[in-house]
């Protein structure tokens, strides 16, 4: 996606389906584990969920929701949606209502089929009472329609899950525009939270700073969160974010969090104010490209060994691995499986099985169980093969069980000499081979298993020949350009093949992986497709037009043509040395030179104000006349864009308090309901519980005065901490000038023990001329031991320009769990205007 998913098959809506092979190789699993293929032939699958009754629901990108019951993939879909499937769009996510057993509600995330505007939306269907494997006619109900999509086909996110709070969480990508991720004016690049009926929860963290659908924003700063999971025992949320050039992330999500994109990726750069850094990262190195799959191992009945309880499972789309993270820190990974063909999702069933969904080999679903000291099991049966005489024929099997495994292939029940590997090939078939029954016996020290017999069909006729007439090899393209594809095919027996024999597909190749562009299209000898003008910004790309034809005997021929990009070199420069500029929101230092594909839309910007040589500069102009941040279309010729920065401006401070002296703060009248732990100015003393620091031993930066709760605790955790209510401290009046950008920065900490919930929090509110408190920032607690660490936070006050405001710093212990230890502090409050 912008790199690896953009660097790796953008995920799901992701890379084009691979050509099916005779059989998929089994994953390599830890000793004692085995897998079984539950379903195959899933067309570009994107996500799955397991129902309480054991049924499995799988989404296919083209719009079908499939049902697997008792190990069988049902022919009739639960529902088929009309959707747009270009690139990573389509039917992307599915969730079942927490009360699914009684209300039969199924929730889906998909891309609308028509434009303008084209959008992603979440809808609900009700399973039929008479046939729960299909949707009840007329039951579709739209919950939420997200911000309009641009012409970029990538970064749609799409995962859905219900939290332990009964709210529906929705992961959305940034739509290939990184400026969307931190913005509160777009639902792109977010984790959203809504009620099950589509309404907005009253405790969403940005409620007072947003309007309309944007009030659903719960956390922000994400690039392409294709998968996430919620621990059903404690509500902990892990969001996987697909990285660009360096890191794949597992983020611990909390209300109001900013995960940093595009200002940060992984842990770099460190120390950015307001960013919640990942719990775990791994590098986009080698074949790694896109983090996918998310599940906590919390089944009703456990099948795995005890040490797997509570582990978080995730994987990589390109490398095909599954790894686990263990609590409480979830910052160290352990390998679990390798060798999976285009992994896209992971789920845990109530019976303790782990399920994984893969797009490779035609789309497959596997079940993994712990079966130590057992005989082999056949996980992939040999597949019948049809060839023309003289062609080779290969049969393969996948089996799991305690190693080592031995193989013996049989023909019509008789052992074939030397055929003792997991696959068997007849190098040149003959008419005498027609109808042969090929099977294999797999054994280990605990027993054996015999596969089904596959039939070898040998045709006397020849194979067809496909030809692509247009585009021609070596054709060059620009972003936004439309191409016509056309071709013909002949067969020795059938002659010229009809349109019904043709299947076309267009794949977008980037680096060492592919993205789907035009899905398989059958029944035409010609058509058109349009090159994307937004999305992937790399220049090491090309499009491959693929034609497969099939004759009346079932023989096929495939050919392809590559069309290559026209490129130009762009330089971003400035009139001052080492100016700080941005490219797609990512900081770069002038002069910055890169190669781009002509016609692709890019976004450039200049940081303002900025300091160079001890002097402050403000943005003045770009050489192309564009705004401070604006879009450009990669030009035909090499081009330099120069930002002019002028001396002057900079930030001025209009309010500052480090609490080393009394500054006129008061406890907010009528708002302090806690029975203990009310805010006080003073010097904190260290308190610890269960090895976790709940109050630090000094104010921020080592100073001796700040605002803290539990000041009278001494060194005893839980003494005089916040109990049974809210404590609120109010600032003196602060007059904000009109027409200027105002920013509030401060330092804070929040420490708590594992009986805390999201109803316990630290927050900052502002009260303007209308007298209504508006939440600027909130950090909710969770059911874990979290130490008190001083953090930096920055929020905008621009909505209050021209008003006189007061600030309220607040911390709360919910009345429902008054025994929880909750301690908080804040320091170094600063308001500046530009």
CA distance 572 to 769: 43
Using alpha carbons, select from 357, 319, 325, 362 the residue that is nearest to residue 41.
Answer: 362
In terms of pLDDT, which residue wins out, 424 or 537?
424
**DSSP per-residue string spanning 38-83:** EEE--SSEEEEEE-TTS-EEEEETTSEEEEEETTEE-SS-SEE---
Question: Confidence class of residue 818 from pLDDT cuts 50, 70 and 90?
Answer: low
For the stretch 190-204, pLDDT in tens is 999 999 999 999 999
Using alpha carbons, select from 54, 12, 30, 208 the residue that is nearest to residue 763.
Answer: 208
Residue 657 host element (H or E): strand 652-657
- Answer whether 356's CB lies under 8 Å from 58's CB: no
Mean pLDDT, to the nearest integer, of 14-25? 34
Residue 102 DSSP label: H
pTM above 0.75, yes or no: no
Backbone angles phi, psi at 711, to 5 degrees: -60, -35
* pLDDT for residue 39 is more than 60: yes
CA distance 511 to 43: 24
Three-class SS of 118-132:
CEEEEEEEEECCCCC
* pLDDT for residue 807 is more than 50: yes
Q: Write b or e for each residue in 196-208: b if 16 or more Cβ atoms lie within 10 A of its Cβ, otherwise e.
A: bebebbebbbbbb
Q: State residue 6's pLDDT score.
A: 37
Bridge partners, residue 463, by sequence: none
* pLDDT for residue 217 is more than 90: yes
Question: Confidence class of residue 653 from pLDDT cuts 50, 70 and 90?
Answer: confident
Judged on CB neighbours under 10 Å (0-12, 13-18, 19+), 9 is buried
Q: State residue 553's pLDDT score.
A: 83
Quick one: CA dihedral 267, 269, 272, 274, positive or negative? Answer: negative
Order of strands, sheet of 33-40, starting from the edge strand that comes earlier in the sequence: 33-40, 364-370, 354-358, 343-348
What token pair was written down for 749?
């900490």
Q: State residue 21's pLDDT score.
A: 31
For the stretch 433-486, pLDDT in tens is 999 999 999 999 888 999 999 999 998 878 899 999 999 998 999 999 999 999
Q: State residue 180's pLDDT score.
A: 92
For the stretch 577-624, pLDDT in tens is 999 999 988 889 999 999 999 999 999 999 888 888 878 888 889 999
Q: State residue 379's pLDDT score.
A: 81
What percentage of the chain has pLDDT greater than the value 70?
A: 96
- End-to-end alpha carbon distance in the chain: 35
Q: State residue 389's pLDDT score.
A: 87
Q: State residue 142's pLDDT score.
A: 95
Place of tokens 């499939």: 66
CA distances from 690 to 694, 717, 749, 784, 787 (A): 10, 10, 18, 11, 10
Question: Confidence class of residue 819 from pLDDT cuts 50, 70 and 90?
Answer: low
Backbone angles phi, psi at 461, to 5 degrees: -75, 175
Cβ count near 478 (within 10 Å): 18
Residue 113 DSSP label: S
- Strand pairing class (639-647; 567-574): parallel
For the stretch 78-93, pLDDT in tens is 999 999 998 899 999 9
Question: Confidence class of residue 23 from pLDDT cuts 50, 70 and 90?
Answer: very low
Place of tokens 């330099």: 640
Mean pLDDT, to the nearest integer, of 508-531? 89
CA distance 35 to 57: 19
């Amino acid at each position: 996606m912008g790199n690896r998913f953009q660097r790796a098959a953008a995920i799901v809506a992701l890379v084009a389906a691979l050509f099916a092979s005779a059989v998929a190789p089994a994953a390599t699993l830890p000793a004692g584990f085995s897998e079984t293929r539950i379903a195959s032939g899933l067309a570009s699958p994107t996500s799955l969920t397991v129902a309480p009754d054991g049924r499995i629901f799988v989404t296919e990108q083209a719009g079908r929701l499939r049902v697997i019951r008792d190990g069988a993939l049902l022919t009739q879909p639960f529902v088929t949606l009309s959707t747009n499937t270009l690139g990573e769009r389509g039917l992307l996510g599915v969730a079942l209502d927490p009360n699914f057993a009684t209300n039969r509600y199924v929730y889906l995330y998909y891309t609308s089929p028509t434009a303008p505007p084209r959008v992603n939306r979440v809808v609900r269907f009700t399973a039929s009472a008479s046939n729960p494997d299909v949707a009840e006619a007329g039951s579709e109900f739209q919950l939420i329609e997200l911000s309009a999509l641009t012409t970029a086909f990538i970064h749609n996110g799409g995962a859905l899950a219900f939290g332990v709070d009964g709210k529906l969480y929705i992961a959305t990508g940034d739509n290939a525009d990184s400026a969307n991720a931190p913005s509160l004016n777009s639902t792109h690049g977010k984790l959203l939270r809504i009620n099950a009926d589509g309404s907005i929860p009253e405790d969403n963290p940005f409620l007072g700073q947003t309007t309309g659908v944007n009030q659903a924003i719960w956390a922000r700063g994400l690039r392409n969160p294709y998968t996430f999971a919620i621990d059903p025992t404690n509500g902990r949320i892990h969001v996987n974010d697909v990285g660009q050039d360096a890191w794949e992330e597992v983020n611990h999500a909390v209300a109001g969090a900013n995960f940093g994109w595009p200002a940060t990726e992984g842990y770099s750069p460190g120390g950015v104010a307001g960013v919640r850094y990942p719990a775990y990262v791994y590098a986009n190195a080698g074949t790694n490209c896109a983090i996918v799959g998310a599940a906590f191992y919390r089944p009703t009945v456990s099948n795995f060994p005890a040490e797997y309880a509570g582990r978080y499972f995730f994987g990589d789309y390109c490398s095909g691995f599954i790894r686990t993270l263990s609590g409480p820190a979830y910052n160290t990974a352990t390998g679990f499986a390798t060798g999976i063909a285009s992994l896209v999702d992971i789920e845990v069933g109530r019976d303790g099985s782990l399920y994984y969904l893969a797009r490779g080999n035609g789309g497959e679903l596997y079940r993994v169980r712990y079966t130590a000291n057992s005989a082999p099991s056949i996980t992939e049966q040999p597949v019948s093969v049809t060839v023309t005489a003289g062609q080779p024929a290969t049969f393969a099997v996948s089996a799991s069980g305690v190693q080592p495994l031995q193989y013996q292939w049989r023909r019509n029940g008789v052992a074939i000499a030397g055929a003792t590997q997991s696959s068997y090939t007849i190098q040149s078939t003959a008419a005498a081979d027609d109808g042969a029954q090929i099977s294999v016996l797999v054994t280990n020290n605990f027993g054996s298993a015999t596969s089904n017999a596959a039939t070898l069909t040998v045709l006397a006729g020849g194979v067809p020949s496909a030809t692509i007439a247009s585009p021609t090899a070596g054709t060059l393209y620009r972003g936004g350009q439309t191409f016509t594809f056309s071709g013909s095919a002949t067969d020795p027996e059938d002659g010229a093949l009809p349109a019904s024999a043709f299947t076309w597909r267009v794949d977008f190749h980037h680096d060492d992986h592919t993205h789907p562009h035009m899905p398989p299209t059958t029944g035409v000898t010609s058509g058109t497709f349009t090159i994307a003008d937004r999305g992937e910004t790399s220049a090491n790309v090309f499009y491959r037009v693929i034609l497969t034809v099939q004759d009346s005997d079932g023989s096929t021929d495939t050919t392809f043509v590559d069309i290559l990009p026209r490129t130009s070199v762009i330089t971003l420069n400035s009139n001052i040395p080492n100016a700080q500029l941005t490219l797609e929101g990512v900081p770069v230092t002038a002069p910055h030179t890169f190669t781009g594909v002509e016609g692709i839309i890019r976004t450039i910007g200049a940081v303002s104000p900025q300091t160079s040589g001890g002097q402050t500069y403000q943005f003045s102009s770009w050489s192309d006349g564009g705004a401070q941040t604006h879009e450009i279309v990669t030009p035909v010729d090499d081009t330099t864009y120069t930002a002019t920065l002028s001396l002057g401006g900079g930030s001025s401070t209009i309010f500052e308090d480090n609490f080393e002296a009394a500054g006129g703060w008061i406890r907010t009248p009528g708002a302090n309901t806690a029975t203990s732990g009310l805010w006080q100015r003073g010097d904190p003393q260290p308190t610890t519980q269960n090895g976790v620091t709940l109050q630090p031993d000094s104010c921020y930066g080592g100073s001796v005065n700040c605002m803290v709760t539990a000041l009278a605790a001494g060194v005893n955790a839980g003494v005089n901490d916040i109990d049974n209510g809210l404590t609120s401290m109010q600032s003196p009046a602060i007059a904000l000038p009109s027409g200027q950008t105002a920013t509030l920065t401060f330092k804070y900490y929040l420490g708590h023990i594992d009986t805390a919930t999201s109803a316990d929090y630290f927050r900052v509110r502002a009260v303007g001329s209308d007298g209504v408190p508006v939440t600027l920032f909130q950090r909710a607690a969770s059911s874990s031991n979290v130490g008190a660490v001083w953090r930096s936070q920055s929020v905008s006050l621009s909505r209050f320009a021209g008003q006189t405001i007061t600030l309220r710093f607040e911390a709360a212990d919910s009345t429902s769990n008054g025994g929880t230890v909750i301690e908080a502090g804040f320091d170094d409050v600063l308001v500046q205007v530009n």
